[in-house]
Amino acid sequence: MADNDYTFGTRNDPPFEKDNRTDYRLTARARAILELESGLPEEETPEARELVCGIRDISASGLCLSSGEPLSLGALLPASVSLGNHNEPFTLMVEVVWCRPNESEFLVGVRIIESDETAYVEWVEAVASAMDQG
């Protein structure tokens, strides 16, 4: 992982009314693909509706995303997160905990849900490794 893949905090962040995350956050060159709707299993090639989001910052427990559309609070969404120079994306389950307008987009805070079916442990290890290098 290169030193320029991650930085601590973001200089241009709008002030938050309340920040519930206790973990340190890193700013990363990354993107997340959220699965908003899954296709019907009986379809030959099920079509899912996906939303590609930029990532403003990351922590072991969550992400701040920039989204082209608002997301419903409490929504549980499968996510594929590509980070820095990791070859494979992390498959995660996220919960939308806040969403607010920001210029022409929306800022969305998601919490990563621990699940056996995801790369949760690998995600935590990757973020910890990035913190150690920061």
pLDDT digit string, tens, across residues 84-108: 767 899 999 999 999 999 999 999 9
Q: pTM value?
A: 0.74
Q: What is the DSSP string of 45-84?
A: SPPPEEEEEEEEEE-SSEEEEEESS---TT-EEEEEEEET
Q: Which residues in the chain come in under a pLDDT of 50?
A: 1-18, 24-25
Rounded-to-integer distance, Cα 101 and Cα 105, Å: 6
- Mean pLDDT for the chain? 79
Rounded-to-integer distance, Cα 57 and Cα 120, Å: 17
